[in-house]
Chain A
Amino acid sequence: MLLVCVAPVVTFFCAFWLLPIARLLALPAEKGWEMYFVVLTNSKYLMSLLNTLLLSVLVTLLTLIVGGGVGIFLARTEFLGRRLLISLLTLPLSFPGVIVGFFIILLGGRQGTIANFADDMGWGRWTFAYGFLGLFLAYLYFSLPRAISSYTAAAESMNSSLEEVARSLGASRLQVIRDVWIPELAPATLACGAIVFATAMGAFGTAFTLASKFEVLPISIYNEFTNYANFSLAASLSIALGLVTSLTLALARRWSNDPVIG
């Protein structure tokens, strides 16, 4: 009976994911084994991989620091509209990446609010949307809500007596952060950091909307596939990217109790 129940979902999953992915994995081999390592051997793709890694690492670090601070604040402070603020701050989790890219264009694009403002002030038109800074802010935008929501939850269940004791014994603020906050929030930090990093590595819509001069790996894959019809190269690059994201998330499951990721 169990077999009958599970048969449809197994068939569907094999037909539309497992077999196609197996084909994708085998495709670069047709062009020779060295095709699998093109992301490391070709300087153009290596650059794109390093760009993506750099961007994702920086975004993850800043997201964890800022998200941690905001989460601790929201978990401990009672004020009117706190619930509403938390739900507003986590709303962007459901926005597609293209919308986040558009937000950055609205702020820092050629006709952006900040460009207009700077122009009115006589400073010239500031545009930051299409370079590294724009991409960085956009990635920060879609990463922060995740960090805020997990840190708020983690900090709500944090034991505050530990901190009170530390303070009454004369610990400075930095000591409290180092010896109480960081160890207590370590599980949330590891799990959330891995998810934020993997999401940043694989994000496509945001970079696509910004048409950034700073090329990231998902954009390289897209260009190879769509503009140059270079299928085995695109397959090889997406295998490399998939390895990075799924290994990171595999590490995250050890620390997280998210029903899907964990």
Chain B
Amino acid sequence: MKSNIRQSPILLLLTILVSLFIICPALLSITSGLEENYSKGWKSGFTLRWLRDVWSNYGNTVTASIAIALCCVIGNVLLGVTGAYALARSKSKLSIWFEELLTLPVAVPGLATALALILAYGQVREFRQSFAFVLVGHMIFTLPFMVRTVAASFRRQELIALEEASATLGAGFIQRFFSILVPAALPAILSGSLMVFTLSIGEFNLTWMLHTPLTRTLPVGLADSYASMRIEIGSAYTMVFFIVVLPLLWLMQFVASLADKKYGT
């Protein structure tokens, strides 16, 4: 909102300082991934050598992370959309309880969830040593974001009316679900999916506990490179993370504004 209140110079200064504090380290991590020698700065010349090193050491973590995030989205769409429908239409106390319970993995620190999973399934070696173990952790953590977003969309009054109308006209459940409910909730499903994907790509707290040397993801590789590699390699690897994540975030904002235009707020 525009107003004719005079802006305080203190707030202007504060905003400039905070912007520098947030933006500078990110820029620094990009430039230092491209410099020949970090401590000599840009005068040492630019190179793509660190990016090549990242690709040969950690390239597989990038593909693994993207694959896990995709599976996470698919799994949560399959479980979450039908589940959200049931929760949105059910009037029982039990379903309200369950919806509350679903958000607990977000409220409880990732470490606790990871410990619980390891204590329960750590002995099942095939499972423990596969990417499925990491995937399950990611799905549990991201499920509430999908379910609650989609359930909110299913609860819209006009959709309930539309569904009732089609039911009285004789449409069966499957037909109603796929030709009315899913198309109507598509923006919510899409924005839930993008959120799930981004959360999964960046997840570290759970993944660090759940991973094995053969099931590493991008953030796990990042932590490893920060601890054991040259600072230039860590920077170049951070840049790779940005390259993967930034387009997603823009897409997310684009979808949100599109849905906003179509359905209003």
A interface with B by C-beta (< 8 Å): 1-3, 5-6, 8-10, 12-13, 16-21, 23-24, 27, 66, 69-70, 72-78, 85, 87-89, 91-92, 94-99, 101-107, 109, 111, 113, 116, 141, 144-145, 148, 156-158, 160, 163-164, 167, 173, 198, 201-205, 208-209, 211, 218, 221-222, 225, 231, 234-235, 238-239, 241-242, 245-246, 249-250, 259-261
Contact = CB atoms under 8 A, between A and B. Distances in A.
B136 interface: yes
The 10 closest A-B pairs by CB, nearest first: A202-B109, A9-B83, A103-B25, A20-B116, A6-B86, A20-B120, A5-B86, A160-B3, A238-B112, A73-B11
A201 B87 CA distance: 31
B223 A209 contact: yes
Contacts of A105: 226, 231
B18 A24 contact: no
Main DSSP-derived SS at the B contact region: helix
B4 interface: yes
B205 to A, nearest CB: 5
B101 A201 contact: no
9 contacts: A18-B101, A76-B1, A91-B22, A104-B25, A163-B3, A204-B110, A221-B115, A225-B209, A231-B115
A98 B226 contact: yes
B231 A106 contact: yes
Interface residues of B, number: 88
Contact of A144 (B4, B22, B82, B223): B22
B30 to A, nearest CB: 11
Main DSSP-derived SS at the A contact region: helix
Contact of A70 (B11, B32, B203, B223): B11
Given A69-B15, A111-B39, 19 more contacts: A10-B83, A16-B117, A23-B120, A69-B10, A73-B11, A76-B1, A77-B7, A85-B19, A91-B26, A92-B22, A99-B29, A106-B29, A109-B231, A144-B18, A148-B18, A157-B1, A201-B109, A204-B110, A205-B223
Interface in B109-159: 109-113, 115-117, 119-121, 136, 139-140, 143-145, 147-149, 152
A225 B115 CA distance: 8
